[in-house]
């Protein structure tokens, strides 16, 4: 029997058992809360319903296409059914613009597999959430881990796996393993089945446990349910998320809420603050100090002094073997080194922008060495981090963030307990030059008579300054930085008329200025250009603005992507 045949037998064998999972889980208190708001898709008539009681359902995990290519909640409002409407066997009819979407076949096949497994409902994130409602989106994100956990079965569709010779070809390199949201979609459900691009089942979480460990670094006993996730340290869980990407930076934090049992408001636009907020919420219910055991060896140009909290899950990349030390065992370790332990609390408190904590500390060459109540799995002694006291203040910062010290017995000598306040965040000026890029397009065919110069300083402009004359074409990309602050772009018309566009940076903000008539001669020396009648038309314009004027125009940022794309 081939691997695929065996997997299909296993899949069919477990189908009946899978149906009972939601009923068993219905005894959990959380189920009675989220079931009132969960919208499910009927697997036969493909209509959205909101069941009033617990129903077994399948759930889909997949890599999103572009938003416009996925079947959305709004698309399902335009679904028609055959004259037998009202029957569970009514055949749905979709408009051609929906059927032509790249994600339509995926939508159909997921529903077909659930229907064949005798599951009446399926949940698909692209169409079961009304993302136009911020309240519904926030509730869905906070509930999503529970929805995956309580599913009867999870179908993982891998669009980039399989070929004619090998149905599993490319499994280890599938994009699904690199996305942030799919981490909880792998861990939360009990029964996870993987399908390749042709919807051939190629394995399950159980049969792929060894391979999944190699890909994700999540131990097999956790994947198989033999060890509960709550037995893993905070640092270990964070390490599972290291290196994963999300389309919105905030989703790196939001996709981890269920993993840590955290609920918090969804605030798109807060950027990196979302991950700091997640860590603060975790600390409210845990005294696990592995949350401080991060090591930023990724960005060598990063600031030396930091706040206590990590900036991204990536700094936990090597923390899969970091474990918390039991409080009583930690006391024993310190006592053996003759360190007074009276007043060593296992708790800490969070204030406005800092954490009040008692740590064993001593002065060292890197500042202050502080001992954490955590260690490596195979280590005897704890980890240490370096802190720096802020001049003129009693507050401390994390310093030398690339160093997470594996301490030895001699490092524990001469420690004393200190109750200190460590800042959560530390704002520093950028350590790298900011750069702005400009790309231009023409409103008519004048490129043969266009050129530009980049001027070292703003002020008076001479077309002979800077790096010399350069030809301007529709794909021109001009880079401006601290050393090259202003660009002078000109166009000469067929009768010699001149139009000049100035671009520059001031206080890290880009500006654009169109010059003509008297203004042109005030700011630009055009003597190298054949000077005739000036032309007021906009020959060169910013691609992000449909207007041109003599006023400064700010270049708008691109529109943000969909907030829930994984």
Give the lowest-confidence range in 43-47, 140-144, 283-287, 489-493. Answer: 489-493
CA-to-CA dists, residue 506 to 458, 462, 482, 548, 554, angstroms: 10, 20, 10, 20, 11
Model pTM score: 0.71
Is 75 within 8 Å of 98 (Cβ atoms)?
A: yes
The pLDDT, as a whole number, for residue 479 is 67
| pLDDT tens track for 71-126 | 999 999 876 655 555 555 567 788 889 999 999 999 999 999 999 999 999 999 99
pLDDT at 541 over 60: no
Using 50, 70 and 90 to split pLDDT, how confident is the model at 536?
Answer: very low
The tokens describing 258, both together, are 């269920």
In the beta sheet, which residues pair with residue 194?
Answer: 156, 203
The pLDDT tens digits for 468-494 are 567 766 666 676 655 445 777 777 666
Q: Sign (positive/negative) of CA torsion 270, 276, 280, 282?
A: positive
Is the confidence at residue 438, as pLDDT, over 90? Answer: no
pLDDT in tens, 507-527: 556 677 777 655 665 555 555
**In terms of Cα–Cα distance, which of 393, 406, 250 is closest to 319?**
406
Backbone phi, psi, residue 164, to 5°: -65, -30
Unique residue bearing structure tokens 């005897």: 380
Q: What is the pLDDT of residue 14?
A: 44
Return the pLDDT at 54. Answer: 75
479 exposure class (CB count in 10 Å sphere: 0-12, 13-18, 19+)? exposed
Residue in 154, 119, 117, 151 with CA at minimum distance from that of residue 42: 119
Q: Are 90 and 84 in contact (CB under 8 A)?
A: yes
| Stretch among 21-25, 120-124, 425-429 having the lowest mean pLDDT | 21-25
Q: Is 389 left (phi over 0), alpha (psi -120 to 50) or beta?
A: beta
- Tell me the pLDDT band of 32, cut-offs 50, 70 and 90: very low
pLDDT surpassing 70 at residue 142: yes
- Does 348 score more than 50 pLDDT? yes
User: What pLDDT digit, counting tens, does each position of 211-245 carry?
Assistant: 999 999 999 999 999 998 889 999 999 999 999 99
Assign 35 a pLDDT band (cuts: 50, 70, 90).
Answer: very low
SS3 of 175-211: HHHHECCHHHHHHCCCCEEEECCCCCEEEECCCCHHH
Residue 303 has pLDDT above 70, yes or no: no
**Residue 480, helix vs strand vs coil:** strand
How distant, in Å, are the alpha carbons of 142, 225, 362, 490 from that of 74? 22, 37, 61, 48
pLDDT for 250 beyond 90: yes
Q: Which of 329, 330, 326, 302 has its CA nearest to residue 314?
A: 302
Question: CB-based contacts of 292: which residues, under 8 Å, 6+ apart?
Answer: 308, 309, 372, 374, 385
pLDDT digits (tens, 9 = 90+) for 170-200: 999 999 999 999 999 999 999 999 999 999 9
Q: In whole numbers, what is the pLDDT of the chain averaged over residues?
A: 79
């Amino acid at each position: 029997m081939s691997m695929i045949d065996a997997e299909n037998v296993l899949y069919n064998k477990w189908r009946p058992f899978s149906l009972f999972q939601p009923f068993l889980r219905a005894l959990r208190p959380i189920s009675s809360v989220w079931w009132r708001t969960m919208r499910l898709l009927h697997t036969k008539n493909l209509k959205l319903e909101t069941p009033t009681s617990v129903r077994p359902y399948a759930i889909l995990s997949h890599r999103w296409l572009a938003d416009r290519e996925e079947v959305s909640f709004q698309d399902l409002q335009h679904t028609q059914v055959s004259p037998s409407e009202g029957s569970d066997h009514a055949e749905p009819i979709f408009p051609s613009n929906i059927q032509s979407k790249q994600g339509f076949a995926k939508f159909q096949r997921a529903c077909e597999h659930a229907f064949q497994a005798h599951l009446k409902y399926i949940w698909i994130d692209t169409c079961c959430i009304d993302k136009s409602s911020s309240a519904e989106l926030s509730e869905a994100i906070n509930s999503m881990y529970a929805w995956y956990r309580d599913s009867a079965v999870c179908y993982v569709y891998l669009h980039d796996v399989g070929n004619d010779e090998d149905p599993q070809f490319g499994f280890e390199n599938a994009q699904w393993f690199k996305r942030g949201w799919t981490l909880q979609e792998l861990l939360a459900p009990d029964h996870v089945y993987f399908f390749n691009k042709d919807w051939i089942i190629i394995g399950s979480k159980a049969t792929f446990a060894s391979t999944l460990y190699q890909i994700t670094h999540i131990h097999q006993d956790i994947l198989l349910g033999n060890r509960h996730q709550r037995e893993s340290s905070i640092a270990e869980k964070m390490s599972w998320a290291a290196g994963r990407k999300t389309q919105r930076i905030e989703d790196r934090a939001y996709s981890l809420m269920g993993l840590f049992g955290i609920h918090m408001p969804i605030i798109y636009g807060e950027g990196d603050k979302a991950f700091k907020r997640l860590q603060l919420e975790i600390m409210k219910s845990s005294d696990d100090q592995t949350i401080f055991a991060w090591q930023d060896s990724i960005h060598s140009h990063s600031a030396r002094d930091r706040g206590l909290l990590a900036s991204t899950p990536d700094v936990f990349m090597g923390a899969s073997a970091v474990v918390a030390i039991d409080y009583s065992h930690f006391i024993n370790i310190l006592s053996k080194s003759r360190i007074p332990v009276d007043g060593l609390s296992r708790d800490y408190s969070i204030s406005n922008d800092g954490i009040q904590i008692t740590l064993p500390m001593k002065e060292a060459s890197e500042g202050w060495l502080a001992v954490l109540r955590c260690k490596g799995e195979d280590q005897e002694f704890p980890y240490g981090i370096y802190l720096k006291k802020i001049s003129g203040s009693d507050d401390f910062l994390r310093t030398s963030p690339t160093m997470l010290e594996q301490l030895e017995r001699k490092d524990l000598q001469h420690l004393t307990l200190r109750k200190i306040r460590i800042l959560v965040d530390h704002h520093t000026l950028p350590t790298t030059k900011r750069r702005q890029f400009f790309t231009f397009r023409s409103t008519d065919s004048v490129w043969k008579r266009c050129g530009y110069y980049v001027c070292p300083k703003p002020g008076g402009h001479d077309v002979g300054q800077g790096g010399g004359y350069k030809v301007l074409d529709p794909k021109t990309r001009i880079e401006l930085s601290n050393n090259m602050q202003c660009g002078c772009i000109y166009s000469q018309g067929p009768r010699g008329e001149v139009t000049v566009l100035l671009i520059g940076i001031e206080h890290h903000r880009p500006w654009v200025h169109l010059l003509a008539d008297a203004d042109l001669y005030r700011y630009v020396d055009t003597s190298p250009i054949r000077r005739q009648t000036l032309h007021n038309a906009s020959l060169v314009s910013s691609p992000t603005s449909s207007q041109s004027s003599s006023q400064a125009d700010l270049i708008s940022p691109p529109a943000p992507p969909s907030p829930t794309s994984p």
